[in-house]
Amino acid sequence: MSELVISQETSRTQARYDRIASMYDRMEVLPERGFSPMRKKLWSLISGTRVLEVGVGTGKNFRYHPAGADVTGIDLSGRMLERAQRRAQDLDLSLPLEQMDAQHLAFPDGSFDAVVATFVFCSVPDAVWGLQELARVVRPGGKVLLLEHVRIDRPAWVGRLMDVLDPLAVRLMGPHINRQTVENVRRAGLEVERVEDLAPRGLVKLIVARAPAP
């Protein structure tokens, strides 16, 4: 994928989430009943104090941030960040929120002890590029924790169907439904420590990875 195509896709993604920000939480009411325990489990694995949350959206993870963690949040969509800021105020949280592209993180190398993203890399135009940025900004040996819905590999026909339906899903909903995120994590140079299936057929996976030690 060329940089021009990535830039165009990124702009479309930003516009899409800006457009749906006001209704996003209502759209997610039913799936969030299942996702909430997954989010809680993911954040319980955090170690270290300097944490980057990529793709905060409307702030659904905020209530699970561990006490004592110094969390910085980013999102591509300014409208989503407005919602996240209101949620942070409602929860009496003080954390910096910045509009930023996961593919171009404006942080020095090794800035964080851990990086977290939940249901984000289905929407990042170049997922490997974005994951490489996560690997760059986390300290050597630091954790990258992901919660992602992915392509179903077994039975094989389900994966093939997801491939066929993916362009329509992107047009209607935004996220890709056939991302092979575990493999993308490895392609980005991260060391996969653990993968746990949290939904039938492995549709949702908790991925625990680590930046290579020097």
What is the 3-state secondary structure of 108-144? CCCCEEEEEEECCCCCCCCHHHHHHHHHHHEEEEEEE
C-alpha–C-alpha distance, residues 187 and 27, integer Å? 32
All domains of the chain, ordered by start, with CATH?
3-210 (3.40.50.150)
pLDDT in tens, 66-102: 988 999 999 999 999 999 999 999 999 989 999 999 9
Kindly report, residue by residue over 108-125, the tens digit of the pLDDT.
Answer: 999 999 999 999 999 999
In this prediction, residue 31 carries a pLDDT of: 87
- Please give the sequence-ordered ranges of beta strands (E in DSSP) within 16-92, or none if there are none: 50-54, 70-75
Determine if the pTM surpasses 0.85: yes
